[in-house]
Amino acid sequence: MARRARSRTYGLTAVALAAGLVAAGCGGGSGSGNVELRYSWWGNADRAELMQQAIDLFEEQNPGITVTPTFSEYDSYWEKLSTQTAGGGMPDVLQMDFSYLREYADRGVLLDLNEQTGENLDTGDLLENFQTAGEIDGARYAVPIGGNVFALFHDPAAFEEAGAPAPEPGWSWEDYDEAVRAVTGSTGADPYGGSDYTNLIWVFELQLRQEGGQLFTEDGELGFDEQRLAEFWEQGESLREDDQVVPASKAVQALPVSPLGADLAASEFSWDNFLARFAEEAEAEVELSPVPTSDPDRLGQYLKPSLMLSASAGTEYRAEAATLIDFMINDPEVAEIFGGSRGIPATTTQREAAEFSGVDAAIAAYEDELLDDLQEMPPAPPAGAGALEAEFIRISEEVGFDRMTPEAAAAEFSAFAERTLNP
């Protein structure tokens, strides 16, 4: 009942905002009262049904604004958006990924939402860790919808049977390697204690942040040197040589399913929203667990935007676009509609309004336990960050197959990064 009351209040506010805009003709709105917003996002048919419910609610609360949604799968979404942007036809409101934010912001095609903040967009209820999410050089080009935190997933039954220590806050990377060896020894490698975590750029970033470093600098350069990267790949060498982690050949053979999802490993690192995927794929019961750290006082973790919303710099309807973004991040009924399917909500009101169950409840509980220990978000990745991650995976496989030494791999990656970041 309380949620409904909050929603009606929000709705009245939104209607009043829209009415005020029309009357004043301010904030870049049409002033005609008949506005059609084009809204593009990526996702699947299940999310499309939820999105239409949210859009219907928005249109009900904002008479005079209609929303025309389009959605695509992730890869085709970015191909289409690139074409639309090049042709001057970017949607008024669009879903944004953190890894693409700087690339589009640097092209000057995204609206600085700061001009709408306080008028048609309220960002005051964003979680503390998200207060500056979407900002680049003082301009806000996107607002987070939800967030995820990096995690270790593990099979507690396999760990317990092996007598391996259960993951606990503050445990070290050496503790984790020891647990992996214990599980592999106990099970006869069926499953292995873990997958090779040195093929994940996000684990590398985690370790850098635990040391006070970063993956990318504010000005879009690498935040580490070749030696540190070689040390990271060397870190997994003894586990690989002793057959304690899933061999690269088996990991590649299982693709697109990960070693944990294929029941080849009893532990794996990924973002916490992957719990839903592992719950469907793996036969073993999997739990979210604390990540190891080199410094118990610095976990290196942060709340990463799972999804963001941006507006086109070329939209004729800046006020209305901001009003739609505001509705999507703040309205409690939107949280009731989506639950945790967009990531755990980015605002306190929506976080309290959403009713989590199953894996969403586990993810929300995991993040709630970590909120006080999360560090500041890193700067938005530079253009080309996606290509760097793909190259990191490719070169890691070369190391995993023992076709390249860690030193040679680090040199090759650094050369690729130089060409990509400074073309």
DSSP string, 385-409: HHHHHHHHHHHHHHHHTTSS-HHHH
Kindly report the number of other CB atoms within 10 A of residue 258's CB atom: 21
Structure tokens at 351: 């976080």
Residues of the chain short of pLDDT 50, as ranges, are 1-30
Distance CA 327, CA 131 (A): 17
pLDDT digits (tens, 9 = 90+) for 254-292: 998 999 999 999 999 999 989 988 999 999 999 999 999
CA-to-CA separations, 242 to 49, 55, 237, 381, 389, in angstroms, rounded: 49, 55, 8, 36, 27
The DSSP element (H or E) to which 250 belongs, if any, is: helix 248-254
Give per-residue pLDDT as tens, 212-228: 999 999 889 999 999 99
In sequence order, the β-bridge partners of residue 344 are 147
Q: What b/e sequence results for 105-138 when a residue is b if at least 16 CB atoms lie within 10 Å of its CB, and e otherwise? A: bbeebbbbbebbbebbbbbeebbebbeebbbbee
Structural domains in the chain, CATH included, are 35-148+304-371 (3.40.190.10), 150-302+379-421 (3.40.190.10)
Distance CA 128, CA 341 (A): 21
Q: How far apart are CA 292 and CA 299, in angstroms?
A: 8
Please check whether residue 346 is in contact with residue 126, taking contact to mean a CB–CB distance below 8 angstroms. yes
Q: Which residues face 151 on adjacent strands?
A: 270
Please report the pLDDT score of residue 33 as a whole number: 61
Residue 279, amino acid: A
At 74 the pLDDT is: 87
CA distances from residue 106 to 111, 135, 217, 308 in whole angstroms, order as listed: 11, 12, 16, 17
Place of tokens 């995820």: 148
Q: What is the pLDDT of residue 6?
A: 36
Instruction: Please report the pLDDT score of residue 257 as a whole number.
Output: 92
322 contacts: CB under 8 Å, gap ≥ 6? 27, 113, 116, 119, 120, 121, 311
The alpha-carbon radius of gyration of the chain (Å, integer) is 23
Residue 44 has a pLDDT of 84
Contact 71, 302 (CB under 8 A): no
